[in-house]
Amino acid sequence: MTFNEPKEKLPKIEFYGGAFGALLPFLVFITGVVVIALSGAPDEKGFWPILIVALALSLILSKDRMAFSETVISGMSQRIVMIMIMAWLLASIIGILMTLTGFVEALIWLANQLHVQAVGIVIITFIICCIVSLSTGSSFATILICSPLLYPTGGLLGAHLPALAGAIIGGATFGDFIAPISDTTIASSLSQDADIGETIKNRVQYILPAAGLALLGFVLVALVQPSKMGAETVSEIGGDPKGLPMLLVPALIIYLFLKKKHLLHGLLLGLVFGTVLGLITGLLKTESVLMLDLDNYVAKSFVIDGINRALGLSVFTILLMGLVATLKASGLLNRLVEIAAKRAKTKKQGEGWIAGIMSLAVLLTTHSIVAILTVTDFTKKTGVRLGIDNIRRANLLSLIACIFPFVLPYFIPVILMANMTSTGQEFDIPKVSPLDVGLHNFMSWGLLLMTMTTLFFGWGRNKKKH
């Protein structure tokens, strides 16, 4: 799945205190998020006050508050922000629909027939999510599709919940790094004039060892830290096959994504199809679609419930993108790139600076594609000057892009995954905090190990140039 990032020119914003003044609000935000995450925040709504404080501090420190205000609004209203929010709303509604129609119970029944136990469900979840992300090319779509189905199922089967959530986001990370239609793959390859097909072939040497390490991590955690239901087998939990026809809903959505349909197209059509299918099969009650409670002056619907579930993440994203826009408009990242360009003297140093500046760009923009576009010229010029292969440069960019956003608790993929664990609450399955989600994404930790091996020991350096 791809998108076109608008090339909107933001006004230059100067801050009192220079670079420190530009960074201080963002540091306040990160510190607040980490503290709340460590304390086990129940959901992302706890991050709202921190973001408001950070925005207010940034406003106070800015020299031109009119330009600051326009920049914040511009950042909040980006096309990609609206796409993400609409996708989360629709996916959350679909998750409620699948729960109401008994799909989780059907998966329980199916697992019972296959005699799958707690550790096995974590492994199967990871493999399924790898396949979905490889097929769709979208980490967001994978989390949105798989979480409402696999998290409650795994929880009921006694899986270790943080490992289960880590398996879902880990599988999503897999496709984000290597899928041919992943926006990360496309942006990193094309930005460095590297052939996408050859780049993907070259990435196998990174992704397979990382995936092997991830599987090992999931198994060890599931064995060492079993959940309180871990001793139970699937047969003791039961299930009901009536909801199996609803399997057609995610199948249709994945099919539409494979046909390169828009994210909104796939999710909206999947929701309509699922609603009609549920009504026809009798799995969905008419009053669940819409019921007017005239005595209390309210309307009730699974659509409303789904939107309410996605509200916290949506507001978090809007506020965060406003804050990030002010940091981009400060020109701080451009100055960092210029410094790096002067310091890189050898091939090994060049690779280190590419990875380092890409890491800073990701950490400060909280957006992989924005970060890649920010360092594109620096990476290309440094690579050409020092003889770093274009495919290797593209791989370095993607490696970094698939680490931090999937492990740190203030990045949207991690917040999204933590948010989607609320789908287990219907079955009395606890949520997983953003911190636990990131810590248990062994796929990204495996990619981090491969990145360190690449930079320090030259893994993959002596490959044929393209």
Q: How far is CA 301 from CA 190, 281, 284, 415, in A?
A: 45, 19, 12, 25
Torsion angle defined by CA atoms of residues 410, 414, 420 and 421, in that order, rounded to the nearest 10 degrees: -100
Q: What is the pLDDT of residues 210-226, one digit of tens each?
A: 999 999 998 888 777 66
State the pLDDT at residue 406. Answer: 94
* Side chain identity at residue 226, one-letter code: P
| Mean of pLDDT values over 270-275 | 92
Q: What's the CA gap between 356 and 342, in Å, rounded?
A: 14
* Side chain identity at residue 179, one-letter code: A
Q: What's the CA gap between 72 and 59, in Å, rounded?
A: 10
455, pLDDT greater than 50: yes
Give the model's confidence band at 264: pLDDT under 50 very low, under 70 low, under 90 confident, else very high. Answer: confident
| Strand pairing category for 298-300 and 291-293 | antiparallel
Q: Which of 102-106, 247-251, 274-278 has the lowest mean pLDDT?
A: 102-106
Q: Which residues of 225-259 are buried (b: 16+ CB within 10 A; e: fewer)?
A: ebbebbeeebeebebeebbbbbeebbebbbebbee
- Nearest partner of 5 among 187, 175, 182, 193, judged by Cα: 187
Query: Per mean pLDDT, which of 128-137, 341-350, 394-403 is the most reliable?
Result: 394-403
Q: Which residue has the higher pLDDT, 421 or 116?
A: 421
State the pLDDT at residue 337. Answer: 74
| Mean of pLDDT values over 246-271 | 82
Percentage of the residues of the chain whose pLDDT score is greater than 90: 24
452, pLDDT greater than 70: yes
| Mean of pLDDT values over 301-323 | 85
| Mean of pLDDT values over 141-152 | 85
Tokens of 10: 């933001």
Q: What's the CA gap between 106 and 3, in Å, rounded?
A: 35
State the pLDDT at residue 439. Answer: 93
State the pLDDT at residue 43. Answer: 62
10, pLDDT greater than 70: no
Q: Which residue has the higher pLDDT, 12 or 37?
A: 12
State the pLDDT at residue 437. Answer: 93
pTM of the model: 0.76
Residue position matching structure tokens 């009504």: 279
Q: Which residue has the higher pLDDT, 27 or 441?
A: 441
Are 33 and 409 within 8 A, CB to CB? Answer: yes
State the pLDDT at residue 464. Answer: 47
64, pLDDT greater than 50: yes
| Mean of pLDDT values over 255-267 | 79
Q: Which residue has the higher pLDDT, 12 or 135?
A: 12
Q: What is the pLDDT of residues 156-196, one digit of tens each?
A: 888 889 999 999 999 999 988 988 767 788 888 888 888 88
State the pLDDT at residue 233. Answer: 42
466, pLDDT greater than 60: no
Q: How far is CA 142 from CA 29, 33, 399, in A?
A: 28, 25, 19
State the pLDDT at residue 335. Answer: 78
Q: Which of 23-37, 336-350, 379-393 has the lowest mean pLDDT?
A: 336-350
Q: What's the CA gap between 436 and 38, in Å, rounded?
A: 9
Q: Which residue has the higher pLDDT, 387 or 338?
A: 387
DSSP 297: T
Give the model's confidence band at 463: pLDDT under 50 very low, under 70 low, under 90 confident, else very high. Answer: low
Tokens of 341: 């360009």
Q: What is the pLDDT of residues 79-93, one digit of tens each?
A: 877 877 887 788 788
403, pLDDT greater than 80: yes
| Mean of pLDDT values over 460-465 | 57
Q: What is the pLDDT of residues 53-62, one digit of tens each?
A: 999 999 999 9
| Mean of pLDDT values over 5-24 | 77
Q: Give the bridge partners for 157, in sequence order.
A: none
State the pLDDT at residue 163. Answer: 93
State the pLDDT at residue 341. Answer: 74
288, pLDDT greater than 60: yes
Helix residue ranges, H only, 62-102 = 65-76, 79-100
206, pLDDT greater than 90: yes
State the pLDDT at residue 230. Answer: 43
